Amino acid sequence: MQKRLSKLLLFSFYLPMLTNVQINKEIELRVKELWSQYPFSIGIPVIDLQHICLIFSIIKLQQSIQNKLPPPNLQKDIFYIIDFLIQHFKTEEKLLSLIHFPQFDSHTKKHIKYIEQLRILHGNDIEAANVYKAADEILNVLQNWLFEHLRKDDQKYGSYLLELGEISTDYNKQLLEEVNIHNNHILLYQNITKDFSTFEINIEQKTILSIKEIWENKNLATDIPVIDMQHLWLIKIFVELDISAKKSGIIKRNEIFLNTLLASYEYVSQHFKTEELIMRNFKFPQYNNHVIKHRKFGEFLRLRNEENKSNDSMATYNLLQDLRNWIYSHIAVEDRELKIFLKDKIKDVNLFVKHINSKGELDFNSNQVKLYRQIVTPKTNQDSI
Ligand SMILES: [Fe+2]
Ligand SMILES: [Fe+2]
Ligand SMILES: [Fe+2]
Ligand SMILES: [Fe+2]
């Protein structure tokens, strides 16, 4: 009964009219709901991260089936999940052997059984005309893994770990030596668990140098730390898209495009809110015109999403152009007007920022703070975050 109810909960998730970016965000919300609804957490961050990513991928596959995505997309989703699940079982089995889990053998046998079931379904039918039926069966196995294995079997070693009372950070460190964790997975884990201290977003040195170059050459500092921190984050989004768009193939480029768009949407909702709260509070004379410009940028993002949905090959290039124009015109010119207007009130601005932060109206994370500290050298204590 519980299993049936759980499956219904998962299947109750229909989003046929939403854009790709909204779908990803909605899937994230669904994962968040499931994660708080069921005792999925084991307490070892690497394992929790992998479980979260797998839940996300299962809901995404369910969406792809419901929306009847073309067979290559479905095959890609399925291949990705099976590959990830194999990696996860390997990590988990390493943990089980480290803690000398008494049911190691029976637990790993279950892992082998899931992989065998998936391999048979994947190998037999996925190339055939009936790809949707095969995908449905694969989804069934994965949902069984989710609600039977993750919710029940994995919890057994979770409880065993608690009984041992040993420090989970040590195990986490040992597991981390053997797994590669993608930045997007860290971001998803951080958004779901709000644990910002275990993993660090890895920004390549080449990217940091490009961000610094743009920041200094265009003289983009507003000297308002929270604004500068958010602007730097958008430059990072732009630089990463610029670098990867040049070297990636079509499928990878599409994934990068969607991640960039998602990050840009998040930026829009965080940053514009902050900037507009400050402008309103200090009665910035160009407030109305400035807000219109912000809304226009949101429209550009929606347009690029539409282009991408209709397979317009220029979508990535256009998005890159939009971000470039925004940094070099809006941030460099229009946001500078705010800098000039507030230059004698920086102390009051920082007090106001502290005040809105204490009311929970600011939305930023430790990754953004870290990037800010890597690029900006504070002139005074007021400039620090
Ligand atoms: Fe697991
Ligand atoms: Fe397991
Ligand atoms: Fe801005
Ligand atoms: Fe602005």
**Ligand 2 center from residue 101 Cα (angstroms):** 12
Greater pLDDT, 254 or 26? 26
Q: Which residues of 327-352 are buried (b: 16+ CB within 10 A; e: fewer)?
A: beebbeeebbebbeebeeebeebbeb
Q: Is the pLDDT of residue 14 over 70?
A: no
Q: Which residues surround ligand 1, an ion (CB under 5 A)?
A: 92, 154
Torsion angle, alpha carbons of 359, 363, 368, 373, to 10: -20
**Ligand 2 center from residue 114 Cα (angstroms):** 10
Q: Is the pLDDT of residue 291 over 60?
A: yes
For residue range 109-133, what is the model confidence (pLDDT) as tens digits?
999 999 999 888 877 555 556 788 8
The CATH topology of domain 2-193 is Four Helix Bundle (Hemerythrin (Met), subunit A) (1.20.120)
**Structure tokens, 166:** 């040993």
Ligand nearest to the CA of 229: 3
Q: Is the pLDDT of residue 13 over 60?
A: no
- Give the pLDDT score at 232: 96
**Ligand 4 center from residue 273 Cα (angstroms):** 10
- Give the pLDDT score at 307: 87
pLDDT class of 260 with cuts at 50, 70, 90: confident
Give residue for tokens 């977003």: 201
**Ligand 2 center from residue 28 Cα (angstroms):** 22
Which residue type, as a one-letter code, is found at position 359?
A: K
Q: Distances from the Cα of 290 to the Cαs of 278, 301, 331, in angstroms?
A: 12, 17, 11
Q: Give the CATH class of 205-383.
A: mainly alpha
- Give the pLDDT score at 6: 45
- Give the pLDDT score at 379: 62
The two most distant CA atoms of the chain are separated, in Å, by 71
Ligand nearest to the CA of 226: 3
Ligand nearest to the CA of 146: 1
**Ligand 1 center from residue 47 Cα (angstroms):** 7
What average pLDDT does the segment 292-315 reach? Answer: 87
Q: Is the pLDDT of residue 308 over 90?
A: no
For residue range 169-213, what is the model confidence (pLDDT) as tens digits?
788 888 988 888 888 899 899 989 989 889 888 888 999 999 999
**Ligand 4 center from residue 64 Cα (angstroms):** 36
For residue range 28-37, what is the model confidence (pLDDT) as tens digits?
889 999 999 9
What average pLDDT does the segment 241-247 reach? Answer: 81
Instruction: Tell me the domain boundaries of the chain.
Output: 2-193, 205-383
**Ligand 3 center from residue 335 Cα (angstroms):** 6
**Ligand 2 center from residue 123 Cα (angstroms):** 23
- Give the pLDDT score at 166: 65
Which conformational region is residue 68 in: left (phi greater than 0), alpha (psi within -120 to 50 degrees), or beta?
Answer: left
Q: Is the pLDDT of residue 167 over 80?
A: no
Q: Is the pLDDT of residue 245 over 90?
A: no
**Ligand 3 center from residue 42 Cα (angstroms):** 40
- Give the pLDDT score at 12: 41
CA atoms within 13 A of residue 103's CA, in its CB half-sphere: 14
Q: Which residues surround ligand 4, an ion (CB under 5 A)?
A: 275, 335
**Ligand 3 center from residue 267 Cα (angstroms):** 10
- Give the pLDDT score at 338: 95
**Ligand 4 center from residue 335 Cα (angstroms):** 5
Greater pLDDT, 337 or 9? 337
pLDDT class of 2 with cuts at 50, 70, 90: very low
- Give the pLDDT score at 252: 63
Greater pLDDT, 2 or 167? 167
**Ligand 4 center from residue 339 Cα (angstroms):** 11
Average pLDDT, the chain: 85
**Ligand 3 center from residue 231 Cα (angstroms):** 6
For residue range 313-343, what is the model confidence (pLDDT) as tens digits?
788 889 999 999 999 999 999 999 999 999 9
**Ligand 2 center from residue 60 Cα (angstroms):** 21
Return the minimum-mean-pLDDT range out of 42-46, 70-74, 250-254. Answer: 250-254
DSSP state at residue 120: H
The H or E element spanning position 341 is helix 335-342
Q: Are 168 and 158 in contact (CB under 8 A)?
A: no
Q: Is the pLDDT of residue 284 over 70?
A: yes
What average pLDDT does the segment 61-88 reach? Answer: 88
pLDDT class of 4 with cuts at 50, 70, 90: very low
SS3 for 257-292 is HHHHHHHHHHHHHHHHHHHHHHHHHCCCCCHHHHHH
2-193 against 205-383: fold identical: yes
**Ligand 1 center from residue 203 Cα (angstroms):** 28
